[in-house]
Amino acid sequence: MRRMLLLALAVPLLQGCKRETRDLRPDPPVAAALDGVAILPIGIGGRPPEVYFALGKPYRTNAYQLSEGKRLYAWFGCPQCHGQGEGTARGPALLDGWWNYGPGLETIYLSVRDGRPGGMPAFRSRLTNDQLWQLAGYVQQLGAYSGGAAAPSRDDAPPTRPAENRAPARFAPLEP
């Protein structure tokens, strides 16, 4: 009984640890291994590298990683085509729940890394592996139907839409 109680206490606490850690620069072998996505021949769907699970899926559950993804989204010109997620004439929306290549995080990672036909450029040579994952995590959470345990807040910019952490407060499985 007491052990169960301790376990029940420990689980959210450990969750808390993962949620708030700030890995400013991953070890080089870890960063290299993050690129090892196994992908189906059609280029959609697959399996993230083992190391992604070993790290505890930080790119969807860690507020710091998500907010880094948000900064990269602004810095690397994503709003040029995708706007603040609502899409433009040049690029599809990210908020509408329709994913041209499926909603999986590894697929979004591949789309950003390798680009897609129809104008999506490849960012392979512009971002490091962990930055690509940060960006993919942010993009996936932009289009998620339910809020996660971790989210970035509003920017210090003129408000154009509710901040990410004002999204639906219902907690749902992290992978849509």
Partner 1 sequence: MSAQPRDTGLDGAALDAALASVWSARPGLLGWFTTVDHKAIGRRYIATAFLFLALGGVLALLMRWQLAQPEGRLLGPDRFNQIFTMHGATMMFLFAVPVMEAVGVYLVPLMVGTRNIAFPRLNAFSYWVYLFGGALLWIAFLLDMGPDVGWFAYVPLSGPQYAPGKRADIWAQMITFTEIAALAVAVEIVVTVFKQRAPGMSLDRMPLFVWAMLVTSFVVILAMPAVVLASTALILDRLVGTQFFNPAAGGDVLLWQHLFWFFGHPEVYIIFIPAVGMVSTILSTFCRRPIFGYTAMVLALVSIGLLAFGLWVHHMFTTGLPRLGESFFTASSMAIAVPSGLQIFCWLATLWGARPRMAVPMLYVLAFLFTFVLGGMTGVMVASVPLDTQLHDSYFVVAHFHYVLIGGAVFPLLGAIHYWFPKLSGRMMSERLGRWAWGLVFGGFNLVFFPMHILGLWGMPRRVYTYQPELPWAGLNLFSSLSAALLALGFLLFFWNAWRSARKGEMAGPDPWGAPTLEWATASPPPPWNFSRIPVVESVSPLWDAPGELKVATGLRLDRRELVLTSVMAAEPEARDSSPQDSIWPFLAAIVTSVMLIWSIFSPWAVVWGSIPVVAALILWFWPRGTPEDES
Q: Which is nearer to partner 1, 99 or 138 (CB)?
A: 138
CA distance 162 to 37: 33
For partner 1 (CB under 8 A), the number of binding residues is 27
Q: Whole-angstrom Cα distance, residue 53 to residue 23?
A: 15
Max distance between CA atoms of the chain, in angstroms, equals: 59
Q: Which residues contact 150 (CB under 8 A, 6 or more apart)?
A: 19, 60, 61, 62, 63, 66
Task: Go through 127-164 and write b for each residue having 16 or more CB atoms within 10 A of its CB, e for each that does not.
Answer: bebbbbbbbbbbbbbbbbeebbebbbeeeeeeeeeeeb
- Cβ closest to partner 1, residue 94 vs residue 151: 151
Binding of partner 1 at residue 64 (CB under 8 A)?
A: yes
- Write the binding mask 120 to 159 for partner 1: x where contact by CB under 8 A, - elsewhere: ------------------------------x-xxxxxxxx
Q: Which letter does DSSP use for residue 38 in this model?
A: E
Nearer to partner 1, 64 or 76 (CB): 64
Least separation in angstroms between residue 143's CB and partner 1 is 19
**With binding defined as CB under 8 A, does residue 5 bind partner 1?**
no
Nearest distance from residue 102's CB to partner 1, in Å?
27
Contact 145, 134 (CB under 8 A): no
Q: How far is the CB of 34 from partner 1 (least distance, A)?
A: 19
Q: Footprint of partner 1 on residues 34-63 (CB under 8 A)?
A: 62-63
Taking CB under 8 A as the rule, does residue 110 contact partner 1?
no
User: Measured on CA atoms in the order 12, 133, 63, 144, is the torsion positive or negative?
Assistant: negative
Is 169 an interacting residue with respect to partner 1 (CB under 8 A)? Answer: yes
28 is a contact residue toward partner 1 (CB under 8 A): no
Q: Residue numbers of the site for partner 1 (CB under 8 A)?
A: 13, 16-17, 19-22, 24, 62-64, 66-67, 150, 152-159, 162-163, 165-166, 169
